[in-house]
Amino acid sequence: MTYPVNSALRKARSIQLAAVGATLVAVAAVAPPASAATGGARLPTPVTVAVGDRYPVDEAELAQLMAPGSEANGTMVRVAGPGTRWVKAVGAVSQNPAASFRIGSMTKMFTSTVVLQLVAEGRLDLDTPIAEVLPELVPAAWHPITVGQLLSHTSGLGKPCGELKDGMGLTPERVVAAWTKEGCPAPEYPVTRQQYNGGNYFLLGLAIEKVTGRSYADEVQRRIARPLGLHHTYVPRSGDSSMPVPSLAAPTPQEPWAWAEGGMISTGPDMERFMKALLGGRLLPPAQQALLTEMPKLAQTAKLPFSAAGLMTARLSDGTRVWGKTGSMAQYTSGAFATADGRRVVTYSYLPTPELTSDQAVARAVAIIEAAL
């Protein structure tokens, strides 16, 4: 079943979103280059590393999924777990294991983490209406939307009523205005469903800046990237459309307006380390850690359920439940998922072909996670 999410934002990125059950996959409608960031040079033999067999990776299945063809021109997959380390890159992607890529909506996990840290510090409260934090931005006529509702996509926020796309010089405030300016419909109240909406995380990013007095980018570095040694993970500054070298695919300019909703850049090793730390309890106190896997009541009837902290979830064939997020930006479609204890992690990114359908993309994501974990 195709399920469009926050279409105005995603159309601005030439992306289509689809969801089946608890899995969301973003598909880039941009044909990737014939070669990755290698200057057109011939790609070396795919790299594979595997150690141990406690949680064996289904290498045959992953090899079939990763082979360049009608669905993707290049794929990178990393798997880590007790006794297991597996890394492979195939096709028109860099063979450098530290190659950077735009992580898209996986950025929301960083935003959520910072917000929950501020909650633990008593500087934000999940029950605080966002209008009290951002009175200059949120219409007084709106029924109160809380910080917790923004995190869990239960705010009732609808589609933006203004155009959002590259080339408009967008700032976070201008993006939020697409929901809050005069004439825009008010959020649903009472809220009857959980609905994924990027606008929630623009508001959270602005709340972070308001209560800390520092930029969102600085808070991500100070609270997450530097403590974990994520040396290649960052929020691009306004106007910085460049990509670090090496990049997973040939770099294309991309305005960083997606910001706290989907604007970050990272690498496979960094995302793996982040997921281990997040699910492993290194970034949050126990009360906030529990929210990562707590499902709000409205998630019970959601086509695409999210936890109280905004994480996606899926159940593997052996009953194991995994948590994480997918994302898409520029030519990349990516995801990072881990078990609830953070001990088993898969990170992937691929360059989808224009022919890839939404249903195929959903099946591809599910198959990669299943084969890896």
172-182 per-position pLDDT tens digit:
999 999 999 88
DSSP β-bridge partners for residue 324 = 312, 337
How distant, in Å, are the alpha carbons of 49, 109, 185, 211, 348 from that of 132?
A: 51, 24, 20, 11, 39
Q: What is the pLDDT of residue 164?
A: 86
Tell whether the model's pLDDT for residue 157 goes beyond 70: yes
Q: What is the pLDDT of residue 55?
A: 66
How many Cβ atoms sit within 10 Å of the Cβ of residue 185?
10
Tell whether the model's pLDDT for residue 123 goes beyond 60: yes
At 38, is the pLDDT very low, low, confident or very high (cuts 50, 70, 90)? very low
Q: What is the pLDDT of residue 252?
A: 86
Which of these ranges, 101-115, 130-144, 156-170, 339-353, has the smallest mean pLDDT? 156-170
309-358 per-position pLDDT tens digit:
999 998 999 899 999 999 999 999 999 999 999 999 999 999 999 998 88
Mean pLDDT of 88-99: 94
209-253 per-position pLDDT tens digit:
999 999 999 999 999 999 999 999 999 998 899 999 999 999 888
The answer to whether 137 and 339 have CB atoms below 8 angstroms apart is no
**pTM (2 d.p.):** 0.87
Q: Is 357 exposed, middle or buried (0-12, 13-18, 19+ CB in 10 A)?
A: middle
